[in-house]
């Protein structure tokens, strides 16, 4: 089983593109649509019993409490799914979507909002794919561009006890705040291609 962990800071995500606006893929061919969200209403609660952070459940898993927590606070408003890191948590606001797949095309419309940072270090977002144990690959977007990072199952970080990060591929381009951007992550076996607004990078995990 693989699932998707969306780790966002100051991000609004929504919007399903019309068929004639769907970005072309570089490595894979679009097949059966497994899920989509327009965020016109709050997602239904997840089902199953989470095992750690990466598996055991289906559907959306996130914290909507006003006080937030380590995983931040999330809300649905105006067709957007907005996540904010909790002050002092030193951990991105995280929402996860559990779904079983082998190969996949994951596409999101994302935006970094121009709001006070309130002491937070970064203004960025992460789209991470996991397996039953840990992270597999990460696509991140910050004000400096897009970064694609694989995780190495053969190397464990002694500090985090999680898979170590591999080499990073970059698309260096200014990302303006309050503007929507399209990110696409194609996963096929051990290969992954990430695309931001038509600019792509590839890695193996």
Calculate the CA 147 to chain-centre distance. Answer: 12
Q: Which two tokens stand for residue 18?
A: 């019309």
Write down the pTM of the prediction: 0.84
pLDDT, tens only, 74-108: 989 889 998 888 887 777 888 999 988 888 999 99
CA-CA-CA-CA torsion for 138, 80, 23, 6, nearest 10 degrees?
A: 10
Q: What is the 3-state secondary structure (H, E, C) of 65-100?
A: CCCCCCCCEEEEECCEEEEECCCCCCCCEEEEEECC
pLDDT, tens only, 119-137: 777 788 999 999 888 899 9
More confident residue, 158 or 4: 158
More confident residue, 20 or 25: 25
How many Cα atoms occupy the beta-carbon half-sphere of 176 within 13 Å?
4
Q: Where are the domains of the chain?
A: 3-204
109 pLDDT exceeds 50?
A: yes
Question: How many other CB atoms sit within 10 Å of the CB of residue 192?
Answer: 25
Q: Which two tokens stand for residue 84?
A: 């904010």
> Which of 14-18, 124-128, 193-197 has maximum average pLDDT?
193-197
Mean pLDDT, rounded, for 137-157: 94
Q: Residue 204 and residue 134: Cα distance in Å, rounded?
A: 16
Residue with tokens 């649905």: 76
Fold that domain 3-204 belongs to in CATH: Jelly Rolls (2.60.120)
Q: Residue 104 and residue 28: Cα distance in Å, rounded?
A: 8
């Amino acid at each position: 089983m693989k699932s998707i962990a969306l780790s966002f800071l100051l991000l609004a995500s929504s919007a399903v593109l019309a068929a004639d606006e769907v970005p072309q893929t570089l490595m894979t061919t679009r097949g059966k649509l497994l899920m989509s969200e327009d965020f016109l209403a709050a997602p239904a609660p997840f089902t199953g019993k989470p095992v750690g952070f990466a598996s055991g459940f289906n559907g959306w898993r996130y914290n909507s409490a006003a006080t937030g927590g380590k995983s931040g606070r999330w809300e649905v408003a105006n067709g957007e799914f907005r996540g904010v890191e909790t002050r002092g948590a030193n951990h991105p606001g995280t929402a996860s979507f559990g779904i079983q797949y082998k190969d996949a095309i994951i596409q999101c419309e994302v935006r970094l909002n121009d709001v006070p940072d309130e002491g937070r270090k970064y203004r960025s977002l992460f789209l991470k794919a996991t397996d039953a144990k840990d992270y597999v690959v990460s696509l991140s977007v910050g004000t400096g561009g897009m970064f694609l990072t694989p995780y190495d199952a053969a190397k464990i970080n002694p500090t985090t006890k999680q898979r170590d990060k591999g080499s990073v591929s970059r698309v260096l381009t200014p990302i303006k705040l309050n503007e929507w951007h399209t990110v696409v992550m194609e996963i096929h076996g051990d290969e992954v291609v990430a695309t931001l607004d038509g600019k792509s990078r590839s890695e193996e995990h």
